[in-house]
Chains A and B, each alone.
Chain A
């Protein structure tokens, strides 16, 4: 039966009997039932079924259960609520946490899946030397040795600007170095002979000149400088010019030119200690100095010990050579002496290298420099057109889908046989469990 053959559906009769129709609909169904035997009969049958259901009588819950519930009610009865609890209840329990948490989770997932920024490093390399630096480094080396050093130091002395408050320690060190280079400078002289004229020592086997007592401290200078500049390109060019002018070099330089972010240069510069004050003054003129720190490590004692040990080793080597020339003996003894000479020579060379390194630290101060751009965010007009981006996304999506599909195929090709074996093994117990589950579900 449908509404085309019968104006009132049987479900509507039932809904009418249940009082679920609106007044107008109920009146319509009632009018229909007055003259429709079919619908009246259905109503009678439904009423009869309900009367049969009404015969289902139940017992009451036992008094013990009632007593337990009443007792629990006495214990768990809620207390009158204060303003704070009502506020918590209204805000916390009615707040839409689920969508907020869902959005938060989505955001975190997107962040986790997004590419890790578009930062790129333009160049990171060790021992960076500007193109026109090599001859000047050589000049620097020569300027710090022997008589030329004295001349150069005299010039540097004239070139040093008046020291500011921040440069007092620096000036002290520079003054020490100046004195050491310009005056007697026996120590520096011996270094040059021992370092630069190593061949000469090994040829004539004569002991090196003994280092004169050092009255001025040897200080290894290091400076840390952070500068913010408005014109980054100009600052970068000026940096190279400053290095060239003051006979310095960059031991390490790293430039970051990230998109939509301030550009920066991080460099470890080495400049002659005599040139340090002037170099710093010029570096500070590149922009606004954000941070500056200076430190000096005194290595006088370390150097003195090293020189003394070097002297002893050389004397030992000299005596061993004399023994080898003047005494005769068994071959084994000769070999033993030669072996000892070889060992002592190794020690001497190690100490000479250490001495060179130490003096280099004193001669050349380290400047840890960071120059960053005063960044002003701008609208990025260089992003590709939307159509290109959609195209790229579609291509990437296709590739990802293909990769995923291939991954599935490879996984099943690799693990399929094993899974099949396990499937066969587990099929029977799983089937038995499912059957029992269905029976149990039907029973309850």
Chain B
């Protein structure tokens, strides 16, 4: 069906452009590695098989998983946190949790869902601590790291637009657009009914469309005013 409808299917676009940090195409990532063992893993094994191999003690399997998911996982945190260093810390801690719990891994769901569930729990814990600190110790929200790459105007506009969304709708939208989880996986992760996920995702997309339209109109008006002033 997707082959028949390339213009409409969002996932195909996502995997080729915006989702450059997605693990959807493991073969591409694996080409960067020279190790023949890793190439073998990349060529023949799914995430779940790699994780099972790692739980049996294969370090190469973990290397392959790490190379597949380091960027997506960092992106997961980076898009949700203002501070790049916090995103790095949480990425590191998530992989450490994965390492420690590897012996108890059961391939009941996709590895991707399992990993993002760990990441989501880490994020929740981080937010709880941050809110507690801010409530009782008055810690201010972390400022943007000026050296970070997340500084172009487009990124800032998207961050601001996303910040205006309701928190659950924002989370659903991010999980769908950037982590590319299915509706069922998002529902499982957030413990919501699938239909609720679908309707909230729809509302979030429409709201984001309106916000971005409004921001673009404002930017155009400002540009026009500046050019008129120059004239």
Interface residues of A (CB under 8 A from B): 10-11, 14-20, 23, 26-27, 30, 33, 43, 45-62, 65-66, 68-70, 72-74, 76-81, 85, 89, 93-94, 433, 436-437, 439-441, 443-444
By the criterion CB–CB under 8 Å, are A56 and B54 in contact? no
CA gap between A81 and B52 in the complex, in Å:
11
Question: Can you spell out 21 A-B residue pairs with CB atoms less than 8 angstroms apart?
Answer: A10-B202, A14-B198, A14-B205, A17-B8, A19-B1, A30-B4, A49-B205, A53-B208, A57-B150, A58-B75, A61-B70, A69-B96, A70-B63, A74-B59, A76-B100, A77-B59, A85-B103, A93-B104, A439-B134, A440-B130, A443-B134
B49 in the interface (beta carbon within 8 A): no
By the criterion CB–CB under 8 Å, are A45 and B209 in contact? yes
Chain B residues contacting A47 (CB-CB under 8 Å) are: 8, 10, 13
The 3 residue pairs across chains A and B that have the minimum distance between CB atoms: A54-B18, A440-B134, A59-B149
Nearest chain A CB to B57 CB, angstrom units = 4
Nearest chain A CB to B157 CB, angstrom units = 8
Contacting residue for A72 out of B74, B75, B99, CB 8 A: B99
By the criterion CB–CB under 8 Å, are A66 and B131 in contact? no
Taking A18-B11, A57-B155 as given, write out 9 further A-B residue pairs in contact, using a Cβ cutoff of 8 Å, ordered by the A residue number: A19-B9, A47-B13, A50-B177, A51-B17, A59-B148, A73-B66, A74-B59, A77-B62, A444-B134
Nearest chain B CB to A288 CB, angstrom units = 59
CA gap between A58 and B91 in the complex, in Å:
14
Chain A residues contacting B154 (CB-CB under 8 Å) are: 52, 55-56
Chain A residues contacting B158 (CB-CB under 8 Å) are: 52-53, 55-56
110-160 of chain B: CB within 8 A of chain A: 127, 130-131, 134-136, 138, 141, 148-150, 152, 154-155, 158-159
Contacting residue for A81 out of B56, B70, B78, CB 8 A: B56
CA gap between A85 and B56 in the complex, in Å:
12
By the criterion CB–CB under 8 Å, are A19 and B2 in contact? yes
By the criterion CB–CB under 8 Å, are A16 and B176 in contact? no
Nearest chain B CB to A192 CB, angstrom units = 88
B14 in the interface (beta carbon within 8 A): yes
By the criterion CB–CB under 8 Å, are B102 and A78 in contact? yes
Contacting residue for B131 out of A61, A74, A440, CB 8 A: A440
Which of A23, A30, A49 has the most chain B CB within a 10 Å cutoff? A49
Contacting residue for A60 out of B2, B56, B71, B212, CB 8 A: B71
By the criterion CB–CB under 8 Å, are B99 and A76 in contact? yes
Chain A residues contacting B21 (CB-CB under 8 Å) are: 58
Nearest chain B CB to A120 CB, angstrom units = 54
Binding site secondary structure of chain A: helix
Known: A57-B149, A436-B135. A77 touches B99 (CB 8 A): yes
Chain B residues contacting A69 (CB-CB under 8 Å) are: 66, 70, 91-92, 95-96
CA gap between A77 and B63 in the complex, in Å:
11
Contacting residue for A14 out of B75, B136, B201, CB 8 A: B201
B109 in the interface (beta carbon within 8 A): no
Which of A20, A53, A437, A441 has the most chain B CB within a 10 Å cutoff? A53
B27 in the interface (beta carbon within 8 A): no
Q: 1/0 per residue B169-189: CB within 8 Å of A? A: 000000011100011000000
Known: A66-B70, A78-B54, A78-B102. A437 touches B131 (CB 8 A): yes
Chain B residues contacting A65 (CB-CB under 8 Å) are: 88, 91-92
B37 in the interface (beta carbon within 8 A): no
By the criterion CB–CB under 8 Å, are A23 and B1 in contact? yes
Known: A23-B1, A58-B150, A59-B150. A78 touches B57 (CB 8 A): yes
By the criterion CB–CB under 8 Å, are B149 and A73 in contact? no
Nearest chain A CB to B28 CB, angstrom units = 15
By the criterion CB–CB under 8 Å, are B13 and A50 in contact? yes
By the criterion CB–CB under 8 Å, are A77 and B177 in contact? no
Contacting residue for B13 out of A51, A58, A437, A444, CB 8 A: A51
By the criterion CB–CB under 8 Å, are B71 and A62 in contact? no
Chain B residues contacting A45 (CB-CB under 8 Å) are: 209
By the criterion CB–CB under 8 Å, are A58 and B149 in contact? yes
Known: A56-B79, A73-B66, A440-B130. A78 touches B55 (CB 8 A): yes
Which of A73, A79, A81 has the most chain B CB within a 10 Å cutoff? A73
B225 in the interface (beta carbon within 8 A): no
CA gap between A43 and B196 in the complex, in Å:
20
Nearest chain B CB to A433 CB, angstrom units = 6
Contacting residue for B202 out of A14, A53, A77, CB 8 A: A14
Nearest chain B CB to A65 CB, angstrom units = 5
1-34 of chain B: CB within 8 A of chain A: 1-2, 4-5, 8-11, 13-14, 17-19, 21
Chain A residues contacting B56 (CB-CB under 8 Å) are: 78, 80-81
Chain A residues contacting B9 (CB-CB under 8 Å) are: 17-19
B40 in the interface (beta carbon within 8 A): no
Nearest chain B CB to A94 CB, angstrom units = 8
Nearest chain B CB to A15 CB, angstrom units = 6
Chain B residues contacting A93 (CB-CB under 8 Å) are: 104, 106
Nearest chain B CB to A155 CB, angstrom units = 87
Chain A residues contacting B5 (CB-CB under 8 Å) are: 30
CA gap between A150 and B37 in the complex, in Å:
112
Nearest chain B CB to A93 CB, angstrom units = 6
Contacting residue for B71 out of A61, A76, A433, CB 8 A: A61
Chain A residues contacting B95 (CB-CB under 8 Å) are: 69, 72-73
By the criterion CB–CB under 8 Å, are A444 and B92 in contact? no
Nearest chain B CB to A2 CB, angstrom units = 13
Chain B residues contacting A66 (CB-CB under 8 Å) are: 66, 70
Chain A residues contacting B201 (CB-CB under 8 Å) are: 14
CA gap between A73 and B54 in the complex, in Å:
10
B223 in the interface (beta carbon within 8 A): no
Chain B residues contacting A76 (CB-CB under 8 Å) are: 96, 99-100
B35 in the interface (beta carbon within 8 A): no
